[in-house]
Copies of this chain bind each other. A is one copy, B any other.
Amino acid sequence: MKAHIVLAHPERKSFNGRLADISKATLSANGFEVTVSDLYGMDFDPRESERHYNERSDDTVFHAQTEQRFNANNGTTPADVNAEVDKLLKADVLVVHFPLWWFGAPAILKGWMDRVFVYGKVYKSQMRYDTGICRGKKMIACITAGASADSCSFDGREGDTRLVIWPLLFPFRYIGFDVLEPVILHGIGGVASIEAHEDGMSDLDRYEANWKAALSDLEKRTVVPFNADSDFDENKRLRPASPSHSPFISHQRAKLW
């Protein structure tokens, strides 16, 4: 079994880096062959653009999906992307580590998705969702947030982190993964403390132990429920009889503005 770890933090000595080390050690100890993409360490360029393509379907106008598919079919996908696709597709388990910045992923991770989830290679209209290329594989995110658990709770001023990150988890479902319940660690760098409590464990020690435990028991971990392809009609709208398994897909339009 293979596992791939993606780390998106500018400081290798950060708590995110430490968690990624724990992931590597834990998965290795559990028999996985482990690869790591430290995106900052690799100096990964997150900007999808013409600069990455030596060969072009149309060199007068750059259209990302068109060039991704053309180069995939042509065997000329950019080398840095190819290396990432290779690790992604070989992995039975994908672990993604990142800090929550501005209610989302650091740009370097978003751009990893923009570039590595290649149209024509990692997905296409007949290869997504239930027929996604990564079906049967597991993905888990380990996310740190500076704000407190209170302010990121369902009634918190920052919004429910579980909802905020849904648009980040959904692309992994889109390419076929079973997305496992993420581990979200709040108050990092702020409320969480490295001071030891009475039992000798600091907040960060406890977070590390929780993460290690989660990673050692992936088989039992809850899979985030998504709708099946068959829940939608020919226009890709939820059938009246289908339940919604997503907070973003509903039988009734939400009043937002």
Chain A interface residues toward B at CB < 8 A = 10-11, 13-14, 40, 46-50, 61-65, 101-108, 110-111, 113-114, 117, 129, 146, 148, 150-151, 153-160, 162-164, 166-168, 170-171, 174, 181, 189, 222-225, 227, 229, 232, 235-238, 244, 246-254, 256-257
A-B contact list, 24 entries, CB within 8 Å: A10-B50, A11-B62, A11-B63, A13-B61, A14-B61, A46-B46, A46-B107, A46-B111, A48-B101, A65-B146, A102-B174, A103-B171, A107-B111, A111-B111, A129-B157, A154-B252, A155-B244, A156-B236, A156-B237, A159-B166, A159-B246, A160-B250, A223-B257, A247-B254
For A111, the chain B residues whose CB sits under 8 A away are 46, 106-108, 111
A167 to B11, CA, bound (A): 25
Knowing A250-B154, A254-B247, the reply to whether A167 touches B103 (Cβ < 8 A) is yes
B189/A155 in contact, CB under 8 A: no
Partner of A154, one of B65, B146, B162, B253: B253
Knowing A150-B235, A150-B236, the reply to whether A114 touches B103 (Cβ < 8 A) is no
